[in-house]
Structure 1
Amino acid sequence: MLLSVQPALLCIAWAVAAFAQDVVDDMSFGHKQGISPNSFAIPGWSMLGEGHVPQLLSDKVILTPPYGGHKRGCLWTERANSLENWSIDFKFRAGAPDRGGGNLQLWYAANGEKQISTSSIYTAGKWEGLAIVIDVVGGTQKIRGFLNDGSRDYKTHTNVDSLAFGHCDAIYRNLGRPSILKLKYTTNGGLEVLIDGSTCFSTNKITLPTNYYFGVAASSFDPPDSFEVFQFALSSATNAPAIEQQQQQQQQQQQFQEQTPPPVHEHSSSPSTSQLTTSEAQFADLHNRLNQLSKSIQNMFTEINRHTAAEEARYKEILSKLPNTALVNGLDSKMANLDRIVSNLERELKSSDHSTQFRKLSEQITKTHVGVTEHVPERLREYVQAHTPRIGFILYSFMGFQTCCIGAFVWYKWRKSTMPKKYL
C-alpha cells in the first residue's frame, strides 16, 4: 500500500511544481525551439539599438557586436508584469579581447522602454525599479544589484558603484558556453540571484511591485564586449519552499525503490528468524536470497550490456560521419611536405652566405648608374642633333625664292617699257 501511495504523491508534487513553473510565453523567448517565428522580431518584445541594430539569429540575439566599440542594444517587454511571485531564467554569453569593456543590465523598471531604453546603469538618470548589472569593476568580473525609487539620479551621481545593495564575483567572460543567471522573487522570501547554479546574493528586505517592465540592455566600450542573449524565461514562483523539498525527498525515495531488487514471486514472504529453527530451513532461506541476488546481478549486467551496445552504435555512427581516412592522410602528408619545404628554405636563408650575390648585385647597380649619368646625355645630344631641322637650307631656299620674284618683276617692267605704244 505504501508503494502505491508514494508514486501518487510524487505525481501530485510534480503537477504542483509544473503549475508553479509555467512559463509566460508572451514575455519570454528562447525556452522553445527558436527565438523568432519570422527572424525579424521577437513576439511580445521591442528591440532597440544605438550605433547599430541588434542582430536576431535563430537561437540568440547579439546585443553588441564583437567589432566597433560604443554600441548599445536592448530588449524590452511590451506588456507589464502581473505576477507577484516570479522567477527568471536568463541565459547569456560574453566574449571580449584583452582589456575589453562593456556591461549588461537586466532591468525590472517602470516605463523602462521610454525612460531607460538603451541606457546603462551609469547613464540611466532617474528610474524606478531593480537592475542587475553584469560588468567589470576594478579589474574583477562582478554581478551587482541596484535599486531606485525614482528620486536618485544615477547619471549625475559621483559614485554609482557605491549604491549596489548586493554583489558577488562571477567569471562570465570567454567561457565558450552560455552562463545562466536566475532571479527569483517572492513576497515572503525576497530576492535571490544565482549564477550557474550557485547563489550570488539574496535579500528579504526589498519589495518589488507589479506592473513593471522587464528589459535587457547592453553597451560596449572600445575594445568591445560582445553580449549574446539566448534565453529569457519568465515563470511564476511559489512561496512555499517545502513543496520543492518534498519533491526532492520523494524523488530520492523513488530512486531507492528502483534500485532495490524486486521480490521473487514464488517466495513472496520471507520467514522470520524465529521460524528458521532447523538447518534445512536456514539453508533454504539462504538459497532463496542467493537466487535473488543472482537475478539482480544478471539484470544489472544486462543493463550494462545494453548501454555498452548503444554507446558502440553511437561511436560507429560518429566514425561514419568523419571524413575519409585516406583524404585525411593525404592532407597530413601534404602539410608535412609543405612544412619541410618551409623549414629547408628558412635553414637555407639562415645558414648560407649570400655576400657574393649581394656584391654582384651592387656592381650591376653601379654600372647601371654610370651608364645613366654618363652615356645618356651624350646619346641625347646626338639624337637632338640628328633630328633637328636644317635652318640654312630653309633660309637659302627663301632667299632664292625672293630673288626669283624680284627678277620676274624687273623683266615684266622692262618688257612693258619696250613694247610699242598705241595712240588713239
Structure 2
Amino acid sequence: MKINALNLFCLVVIFLCLNRLSTQQTADLNDLLRREHSLIKPYGGSSAGIPFWDFVGSTIVSNKFVRLTADSQSLQGALWNTIPVDFTDWEIQFQFHVHGHGKDLFGDGFAMWYTKERNVLGPVFGNKDHFTGLGIILDTYANYNGPNNRVHPYISAMINNGSLGYDHEKDGINTALAGCESMFRNKDYDTFLAVRYQNYKLTVSTDVDNKNQWKECLSVENVKLPTRYYFGFSAATGDLSDNHDIISVKVYRLESPRKNEQIDHSLIEPSSASFPEQKELVDAERPSTAWRVIKIMFISVFVIGLVVGALYVGYNIYDKQRRTKKRFY
C-alpha cells in the first residue's frame, strides 16, 4: 500500500508540474502576441471595416474569412494592417484557404507582405510592383516552362529595395531568395503558414498536410529588414481564378539577440546576402558572351559567302552573254 500511495503521489506531482509548465508556456506565448497586428475571429468589425485593418479592391469580409478574391476572373484584392511594426524580430502565423472549381487550371495565387507601402493594388499578386520590403508569394499557376522551372503550387520569398520588378513570365525565378513546392490548394482541412524573422534570419514554414506540425519550406541567413513596415495580404486572378481566403493572422514579438545594436533599425535598407546568387541563375539562362561572338561570326561568314556566291554566279552569266554577243557580230 505504501508503494502504491508513493507512486500515486509522484504521478500527481508530475502532473501538476507539467500542467504548470504548459500553462506558463501558453501565458508566455500570449504575452508575445501583438493584437494590433493580428486578425482573430470574431473579427469585431462592421460593414465599415475591421479594427487595425484596411481592405481594398475585390476584398470582402464575412464572419468566417476575409476573401481577397472570389473564384472569378480579373480580380485584385488586398488586406493591410494599419499599424507599422515597431519591433525588430517577429513571427507571423496565418491560416488561409485557397480553393476553387478548377481541377487542372487555376490561379493566380496570393502573397503575404511586409513592406513600406500599403493599400496599393498592382500586378504582383494584387500588390504594386517594385515594392520595398519582403514578399512571401504563394503561386498556384506555372507560367514558365524553361530551365529551372518549378512544380506549382510554389512558395517563394523575395526581398526588394524598390529597384526590382517581378517577372511573371519566369514566375519570379530571377528574384527569388529560396522556395519550396507546397500542395496547399483545395484542402478540406486547415492550412497554415509561418514567417519568422529573428536575428537577421528569415524562415518560412508550412502546416498544410493536416499533421499539426510545422515543416520548413525555406531558411535564409543575412536578411535585413527595417522596422516601421506593414503586414499585408493580396491576391489576384486573371483568365484563371480561385477563392483566396485569409482566416486568421497572429503576429508575435520575438526576443531579439540584437537589441543592443546602436543603430536606427527603421533606416535599414531591405537586402539579402544570398540575392546576388540568384542573379547568376538569370545569366545562366542566357547565351554566354563567347557563344554570342561565335554566333555573330558564323552568321557574318554565311552572309559574306552568300554575297560572294551571288556575285560569282552573276559574273558568269554576264560573261556568257558577252561572249555570245561577240560570236553573233
TM-score by length of 2: 0.62
CA deviation after TM superposition for structure 1 residue 225, in Å = 1.4
CA deviation string 1:300-330 (max 9, x = no partner): xxxxxxxxxxxxxxxxxxxxxxxxxxxxxxx
What's the secondary structure of 2:27's corresponding residue?
A: helix
Quote the residue 1:195 is aligned against: 206
Cα displacement (A) at 1:118: 4.7
Unaligned runs of 5+ in 2: 1-9, 145-150, 208-213, 258-329
CA contact (8 A) 1:73 1:218 kept: yes
The number of equivalent residue pairs is 231
CA distance in 2, matches of 1:175, 1:230: 14
Contact 1:184 1:237 in 2 (8 A): no
CA deviation string 1:67-114 (max 9, x = no partner): x3010100111110112111111111111313112110100001222x
CA RMSD of aligned residues (A): 3.0
Where do 1:213-232 residues align within 5 Å?
213-232=230-249
**Residue 72 (structure 1) aligned with residue 76 (structure 2):** yes
Say whether the 8 Å CA contact 2:110–2:125 is kept in structure 1: no
Higher relative contact order (CA 8 A, sep 6+): 2
* 1:90–1:232 contact (8 Å) kept in structure 2: yes
Query: Which residue matches 1:108?
Result: 114
Q: Which amino acid aligns with 2:137?
A: V
8 Å CA contact 1:121, 1:154 repeated in 2: no
- Whose radius of gyration is greater, 1 or 2? 1
8 Å Cα contact 1:103-1:220 kept in structure 2: yes
Partner of 2:128, secondary structure, is coil
Q: State whether residues 94 and 249 of structure 2, in contact with CA within 8 Å, keep that contact through their aligned partners in structure 1.
A: yes
Q: Which residue of 2 aligns with 1:37?
A: 45
Partner of 1:360: none
CA distance in 1, matches of 2:13, 2:70: 56
Q: Aligned-pair distance for 1:124?
A: 2.9
Equivalent of 2:38, from 28, 32, 46? 28
Among 222, 225, 228, the residue aligned to 1:211: 228
Aligned position for 1:148: 160
**TM-score scaled to structure 1, two decimals?**
0.49
Structure having the higher strand fraction is 2
Check conservation: 1:73, 1:118, Cα contact below 8 A.
no
- Structure 1 match to 2:5: none
| TM alignment of 1:351-362, pairs within 5 A | none
Give 1:17 deviation, angstroms.
5.9
For residue 255 of structure 2, give the secondary structure of its aligned residue in structure 1. coil
Task: Kindly provide the CA deviation profile for residues 12-70 of structure 1, in whole angstroms up to 9, marking residues without a partner as x.
Answer: 6853663354322222112xx41233254111011000xxx32211020111112x301
Moved more, 102-111 or 156-165: 156-165
Can you give the 5+ residue segments of structure 1 that lack an aligned partner in the other structure?
Answer: 241-424
Name the % identity.
22
Q: Is the 8 A contact 2:110 2:126 kept in 1?
A: no
Match of 1:250 in 2: none
